[in-house]
Amino acid sequence: QAVVTQEPSLTVSPGGTVTLTCGSSTGAVTSGHYPYWFQQKPGQAPRTLIYDTSNKHSWTPARFSGSLLGGKAALTLSGAQAEDEAEYYCFLSYSGARVFGGGTKLTVL
């Protein structure tokens, strides 16, 4: 089964920009993996931020954006706020199976 890799942790300054990435052991991540990005805060269920690489839901703050970058899925946060401190998970679709990345703990400091 595929392994999906993310940075274990990243730190961003308030107002700064950071990019989280999501790679696949099977090769380049493409739109055919239908990348999702979830945000999870302690004690809460995950919340969908991005679906199908770059699409946002109505509650997704405009400062979040999704893309494909260098063979990986990417989540970019521009203008970080304290409330963005959370764990972020990517989620990829393979034929049949689905796989989460290990998560990136984002600290806003």
Nearest one of 106, 53, 103, 67 to 84, comparing CA atoms:
106
Asked if residue 100 binds another protein (CB under 8 A), the reply is yes
CB burial of 49-62 (b: ≥16 within 10 Å; e: otherwise) equals bbbebbebeeebee
Asked if residue 37 binds another protein (CB under 8 A), the reply is no
Report whether 51 contacts 106 (CB < 8 A): no
Report whether 2 contacts 99 (CB < 8 A): yes
Pick one of 38, 39, 106, 108: the residue that binds another protein (CB under 8 A).
38
Pick one of 36, 77, 86, 108: the residue that binds another protein (CB under 8 A).
36
Asked if residue 82 binds another protein (CB under 8 A), the reply is no
- The tokens describing 3, both together, are 């392994």
CB of 13 to another protein, least distance (A): 25
Asked if residue 81 binds another protein (CB under 8 A), the reply is no
What is the Rg, in whole angstroms, of the alpha carbon atoms belonging to the chain?
Answer: 13
Q: Which is nearer to another protein, 30 or 79 (CB)?
A: 30
Q: Rule CB under 8 A: which residues touch another protein?
A: 1, 36, 38, 40, 45-46, 48, 51-52, 55, 57, 87, 89, 91, 96-103
